[in-house]
Amino acid sequence: MARRGRRTALAGAALLVALAAAGLAAPRLAPHDPYATALADRLAPARAGHPLGQDTLGRDVLARVLVGARISLAVGAAVVVISLLLGASVGLAAGYAGGWIDEVLARVIDVLLAFPGLLLAIALAAVLGPGLANVVIALSALGWTGYARLARAEAAALRRREFVAAAEALGARPVRVVVRHLVPLATPVLLVQATFGMAGAIVAEASLSFLGLGAPAPLPSWGAMIDEGRPFLLVAPHLVLAPGIALALTVLALQLLGDGLRDVLDVGE
């Protein structure tokens, strides 16, 4: 199981690194300006110099897909970092404290999780307005609840262990107990959750951009590119296929990485 998990994690990590490297090396891999228009070549199919064709304004699709990788990975990483730090801090503190603090947090999480996550993100993004920063805020405002619930459950189980009682008997403060003892033991399960959470955040960002609530034009978000190419799906399918395949490969890489880490770190379902 561990050997298979390592292979799966390495495959996912290699694919993810390749996608990130391609995004960073966009100017070399696709020397065309992703924002330069050429109306005479609009909807042109793949050809020499433009291996993925050109879009509705004659912009190079390959260059825009590669720059879109930067946007998707950056937004996904930002959402995961913010959600993980906030959710883990609140969940570990409440789970260790117990009592009414833990009960209040549990009810808050239940209320937030009762709403469809994407619909609530759409509402927040609509109120805040289009923009990558607002997308990160909208997704983080909901994403922290999953990490908080997970961290709370881990802390509630660990606080009854003998080493916690020993640390408390030696006079360790609650903050020290949480940081020195609970955080290291809760890290594996939170790390696995973070990989799956990043995949969800990238899909959510693409969904918001598809609806016009994500990256503002002319930024080449994959979701916005799919929306732009949707009316021309029958005559120029490359407008949708290129960003769609890139999005699918990114999510696949993160899912493989998460599955592999779950096996390697022996994290239960």
pLDDT tens for the chain, 269 residues: list them.
Answer: 567 778 888 999 999 999 999 999 988 888 888 998 988 889 888 888 889 999 999 999 999 999 999 999 999 999 999 999 999 998 888 888 877 888 888 888 888 877 777 788 888 888 888 888 889 998 998 889 889 989 988 888 887 787 777 877 777 787 888 878 788 888 889 999 999 999 999 999 999 999 888 888 888 899 999 999 999 989 999 999 999 999 999 999 999 999 988 888 776 55
Residues 85 and 202: their CA atoms lie apart, in Å, by: 18
The pTM is what? 0.90
CA 130 vs. chain centroid, Å, equals 18
Q: What is the pLDDT of residue 268?
A: 59
Closest among 51, 74, 72 to 63, alpha carbons compared: 51
Tell whether the torsion through CA atoms of 91, 94, 98 and 101 is positive or negative: negative
Provide the phi-psi class of 173: left if phi over 0, else alpha when psi is between -120 and 50, else beta. Answer: beta
How far, in Å, CA of 180 to CA of 108, rounded?
27
**Residue 49 has what DSSP assignment?**
T
How high is the pLDDT of residue 206?
A: 92
Q: Which domains does the chain have, with CATH numbers?
A: 2-31+57-264 (1.10.3720.10)
Give pLDDT, residue 2: 65
CB neighbours of 209 closer than 8 A, spacing ≥ 6?
Answer: 135, 215, 221, 222, 223, 224, 227
pLDDT of 93 reads 86
Rounded CA gap, 228 and 206, in Å? 13
Which pLDDT score, from 0 to 100, does residue 1 have?
56
Task: Note the Cα 220 to chain centre separation in Å.
Answer: 17
Q: How far is CA 158 from CA 128, 150, 172, in A?
A: 39, 12, 16
Instruction: Indicate the Cα dihedral angle 253, 133, 212, 51, nearest 10°.
Output: -50
Cβ atoms of 35 and 59 closer than 8 Å: yes
Q: What is the pLDDT of residue 163?
A: 77
Kindly give, in sequence order, each residue whose CB lies less than 8 Å from that of residue 164, ignoring residues fewer than 6 positions away. Answer: 158, 177, 181, 182
List, in order, residues 6 or more apart from 118 with CB less than 8 Å away: 204, 207
What's the rounded Cα separation, in Å, for the pair 61 and 125?
Answer: 27
Q: How many residues does the chain have?
A: 269
pLDDT value of position 197: 92
pLDDT of residue 87: 92
Name the packing angle between helices 238-264 and 183-210 (round to 10°): 170
Kind plus residue range of the DSSP H or E element containing 39? none
